[in-house]
Chain A
C-alpha cells in the first residue's frame, strides 16, 4: 500500500513504498502565487452583476457560496434559544450566521475594517430525533480573533495575510474567477472557470480546493486557508496538504471524495475528472451526478452496481470547521 505524504516542504517529500507506484507529479511545480503581494484591487461582484444580472443575479443570492456568511434570521430557533440563555444580551448584537445543518456559529461586525467577532456559543440544529441545542452556552463571549485566524479565508473574500481582514463577506465572484480583466467581455476565455477557457484540470482543482480541501495549511501563514490565493494561481505552491492514504481515509465521505479528486489531478496527473464534471456551481446543482461514472472517486458515494440514485451512507462533517 502506498504511503504518501506531502507536507512542509512539499516539493521533495513524496514517498512511495512500492516500485510500481503510479506516475506522480510535483503539485507545486507549475504556475504562480500571490504570497507576499497585496490583494488585487479586484472587480467586485456587484459590478459583475451589472452585466451578469440576467443569468447569475436572480439565483446567486440563494447560492451557498453567496451564503457562507448570511444575515441572522430574527425568528430563528437558534436566536430564540440564545435569547433564553446566559448570552441573551449578546444575542441582540448578532448580525450574521455561518454554518449549516451540523453546526452554526454567530458573528457581529468588529470595529476594525474587514473583521468579524465570533460568539463562543454554537448552535446544533435539530437532527433526526434530537432537538436543537446550544453548545458552550454558560459563559458566552465575543472572540475577536478566531474568525480571522480560522474562518475568514473560506467564508469571506480577499483576506489579507497580515491582519486577516476581508473586503467582503461571503464569497465574491473574485474568489473563483479571480481579478477579471475588462477584455473578458469579448474574450471570455480570459476568466478562470469560464466554460470557454477550457482550463487545465489543475487550475480548476486549485480554485475549488482553496476551500473544499479542509486538511490544508498555508506554509507562509500557518492558517488553515490559503494566503492571498487568486484564481488562476497554483494553490499548492503555498498550501500544504497531506495526501497520504491514512490522512485521506480518516476524512468524512464528502471530504474524502474532494481530496481524492485533488490528489488524482495534482499528484497523479489524471485530468479526466474535476469538480465541474459533477457540480454546476452557479445553479447550485449537482444534477450532473446523473452522469456519474464508476470510477473509484464516484464509488465513495455510489454503488458499483445497481441504481445510481441509491447512495452509500455518507457524512460531511469536518474537524477543521467544526461543522
Chain B
C-alpha cells in the first residue's frame, strides 16, 4: 500500500531535512528505501530525538534549524563517507553552525532564478527534490512571483538574483501593424511562463520594493524567433525591432538563449557559431550595447528533436570570434540530470577520467584554447542535483570547471524556485569540498573560502558590473532585509513536508 511520504513520516516519527528515500511523484511505483537510505534516516531520527531532548526544543523545530541540517549532513557522512564538512558540535550548538557558516558571509548572486506568470509547471516533483525537506507544492501559487520573493530572499541567503529567461518569443505587432503591449505580446503558453516583458516588470518591482538593486533580468529574444517563411530566412526587421525593445525598453541585463528550441517555428534551432544566422544578432547586440549572452547548454531532453543543439561544441568558435562578448554556459552543459534514465546508462560518466557527457565537451574547449577568457561555467541544477545524487561527479564538475576555466570563471546559479528555496543548495556549497583523493588523482584544487566567495557572487558581480561595496552598504538596511527580519521574527521557517508517495511498510 502506498501512502504520502509526509503521512508515512508522521506515523514513523521521521522528519528529515534531507532525502532519505526516493519518493514517487505518481509516475512510477515507489521503490523501497535501500539499506543505506534507511540507515541515514535512522541516524537523523536518532540525532533529532537525542539532540532536541537535550536542547529542550521540539523535534520539528530542531530539524528545521541549522542544527537539523547539520545532523542530516553528518548522517550522510557516516553512511556514505566524508563528503560534507560538518562537525558534531554543529548538531547541538546553534552557534557552532552559525559561527562556522555565518549567514551573510558570502555575497550571493544567483544568476539563474525563475518564477512563472501564474502557471504551475509540475517540475517541482523531481523525485529526489521532493523530499528535500522543503514545501514543494505544485500549485500555481508555488511558482508565483510572491512565492519567488519569499523563497529566494526570505528563505535563503541570496543577496541578488538574475531573473532568468525560458524558451518563448513575443509577438511584435498585430495584423494591422500596430505594436502590441504586455499580455498581447504573449497570448500563448509562453506568456504564462516567463516572457521578457514580465521579467523586466518584476525586476523593476523588486528593486523598487527594496529601494536598491536586488534583481537583474534577462531577455528571451534569439536569432530564430522571427522567421520570413516566404524566403526561408530570418525576419531581420522583426528580430532587430524586438532586440531593440528588449535592450532599450525592457533594459535587459543579458540575453538568455535556448539554441535547441524553435518558438518562432523557423523549422530549426540555431548554433552559437552560425555566421549567417547568429552572428548578425551578436553585431546588433553590440551596437545596442549588450554583450552578455547566457546560454542554456546540456539538459538535452528539454527539446523534442533539437536536443543536439544543446551540445556546447559551438561555444568554441563563437567565443573565439567574439572575444568582446561574455558567454555564460548554463548548467555547465551537463547533458542529463540525475532524474533522467540516461544518467545511469553505461558510458555517461567515466570514473577513470571524471568526464561526463557534454560537460567534457565544454572542458575540452578550454583545454584546446587556453587563451579563451570570455566563457563562464554556470552550475545551476547541475551542482545541487549531483551533490545529492552523485557526490563524486559533483566534485568532478566543480574540480574541472575550476581547473580548466579558473575559479574566477565559475558562476553561482540554482534554477530555483523550480526546486524550492535555494538555501539547501547554498548550504551544500558552503560545506562542499573536493576529496584529497580526487585532488591528487585529477589535479583539482581544494576550494578555499575565497574561491567560494568568487563562485557565489564576486564573479557575477564583475560580469554584470555590480558595485559590490555599494551593494554591501545598501542591502542590510533595504526594505527587503527589513521584511525578511520581520518574517523570521514571526517564526517563518522551513517546513520539512514532502508530498510524494512511498510504501507504507518501510
Find out whether the CB atom of A167 lies under 8 angstroms from the CB atom of B342.
no
CA distance A52 to B120 in the complex (A): 11
A-binding segment of B60-68, B183-191, B346-354, B447-455: B183-191
- How far, in Å, is B345 (CB) from chain A's closest CB? 11
- Is A20 close to B, CB under 8 A? no
Q: Is B229 a contact partner of A165 (Cβ separation < 8 A)?
A: yes
**Across the interface, do B230 and A66 meet the contact criterion of CB distance under 8 Å?**
no
Q: Report whether B192 and A58 are in contact in the complex, using a CB–CB cutoff of 8 Å.
A: no
Among B123, B193, B262, B304, residue most surrounded by chain A Cβ atoms (within 10 Å): B304
A307 at the interface (CB under 8 A from B): no
Residues of A near B191 (CB, < 8 A) are: 182
Complex interface: chain B residues within 8 A of A185 (CB): 119-122, 140, 192
Indicate whether A113 sits within 8 Å of B267 (C-beta atoms), given known contacts A47-B168, A182-B191, A185-B120.
Answer: yes
B339 near A54: Cβ-Cβ < 8 Å: yes
Residue A60 interfacial (CB < 8 Å): yes
User: Which of A53, A168, A170 is B123 in contact with, Cβ under 8 Å?
Assistant: A53
Report which of B140, B265, B301 forms a contact with A57, defined as CB distance below 8 A: B301
Q: List chain A residues, Cβ under 8 A from B339.
A: 54, 58
| A168 in contact with B232 given A182-B188, A182-B189 (CB within 8 Å) | no
Contacts of B223 in A (CB 8 A): none
Once the chains bind, are A173 and B125 in contact (CB under 8 Å)? no
B340 touches A58 (CB 8 A): yes
Question: Which residues of B are found within 8 Å of A43, using beta-carbon distances?
Answer: 188-190
Whether, in the assembled complex, B94 has its beta carbon less than 8 Å from a beta carbon of chain A, the answer is no
- A57–chain B nearest beta-carbon distance, Å: 3
Are B168 and A168 in contact, with the CB atoms below 8 A?
Answer: no
Report B269 CB to chain A, min CB distance, Å.
8
Please report which residues of chain B, range 221-243, place their CB below 8 angstroms from some CB of chain A when the two chains form the complex. 227, 229-232
Q: Check B305 against A49 for contact (C-beta < 8 Å).
A: no
Given the complex of chains A and B, what is the CA–CA distance between A48 and B304 in angstroms?
9
> Is A58 touching B304 in the complex (CB atoms < 8 A)?
no
Q: Does A55 belong to the interface (CB within 8 Å)?
A: yes
Chain B residues positioned under 8 Å from A52 (CB to CB): 122
Complex Cα–Cα for A181 and B339 (A): 28
Question: Whole-angstrom distance from the CB of A55 to the nearest CB of chain B?
Answer: 6
Question: What 0/1 readout, one digit per residue, does chain B (1-37) give for beta carbons within 8 Å of chain A?
Answer: 0000000000000000000000001010000000000
Q: Nearest CB to that of B342 among chain A residues?
A: A58
Q: Give the contacts of A217-245 with B (CB-CB under 8 A).
A: none
Which of B25, B126, B263, B342 interacts with A44 by CB under 8 Å?
B263
Q: A111 contacts the other chain (Cβ, under 8 Å)?
A: yes
A168–B265 Cα gap in the complex (Å)? 7
In the assembled complex, 18 residue pairs joining A and B whose CB atoms fall closer than 8 Å, in A order, are A41-B188, A43-B190, A45-B303, A46-B304, A46-B306, A47-B167, A47-B168, A49-B301, A49-B303, A51-B122, A58-B301, A58-B336, A66-B305, A71-B308, A114-B267, A182-B119, A182-B189, A186-B140
Residues of B within 8 A of A (CB): 25, 27, 119-123, 125-126, 140, 166-168, 188-193, 227, 229-232, 258, 260-263, 265, 267, 299-308, 336, 339-342
Given A51-B122, A168-B304, A173-B304, 13 other A-B contacts at CB below 8 A?
A: A44-B265, A45-B303, A45-B304, A53-B301, A57-B302, A58-B339, A158-B265, A170-B304, A170-B305, A172-B304, A182-B189, A185-B119, A185-B140
